[in-house]
Amino acid sequence: MFEGGKAVNSSAVDALLKDKSLVPTRNAFTKWFSEFGTGKSHYAMFVVNLMHEFELGVFKAVFTHLVQIAYALGTQYVDEMNQRFHQCPAFRCDTIWRFTNDTAGMKRLAAHDFEDILQVG
């Protein structure tokens, strides 16, 4: 793309990059990997971080929405949910930690807390 003389906003470049949502930029990785041929990509080196992508992203949004639904139905449902999470026993110190009295409040929760909520809920 850079050596072929195509414009960055051309349809040829767009067709090449669009399916993977890539942008036409150069950095140290692209320069280094270009020495090994056009079939190599530095993106294969980066693995998906499930803890940050899913537990802190998708699941946190879904859990927040579920808590909002519970509040809309009545605070007794939120209280029941908090009580059930708090009654759940911890499973070893490195698996599932003990839940607080106010899980629905989602105050000071880390990624492992959302992971635990997902596993237990």
Looking at the fold, whether 54 and 112 belong to one and the same domain comes out as yes
Please state, in angstroms and rounded to a whole number, the distance separating the CA atoms of residues 60 and 73: 20
Please state, in angstroms and rounded to a whole number, the distance separating the CA atoms of residues 44 and 115: 26
Q: What is the pLDDT, as a whole number, of residue 121?
A: 72
Instruction: Give ∠ CA 69-73-79 in degrees, rounded to 5.
Output: 90
Give residue 43's pLDDT band: very low, low, confident or very high (50, 70, 90).
low
73 assigned to some structural domain: yes
Looking at the fold, whether 108 and 65 belong to one and the same domain comes out as yes
Residue 27 token pair: 């950095």
Looking at the fold, whether 68 and 95 belong to one and the same domain comes out as yes
Total tally of structural domains belonging to the chain: 2
With a pLDDT cut of 90, the percent of the chain lying above it is 16
72 assigned to some structural domain: yes
Q: Is the pTM of this model over 0.75?
A: no
Residue 116 reports pLDDT greater than 70:
yes
Q: Could you list the residue range(s) of the whole structural domain that residue 27 is in?
A: 11-38
With a pLDDT cut of 70, the percent of the chain lying above it is 78
What value does the mean pLDDT take over residues 63-87? 92
62 assigned to some structural domain: yes
Residue 7 reports pLDDT greater than 80:
no
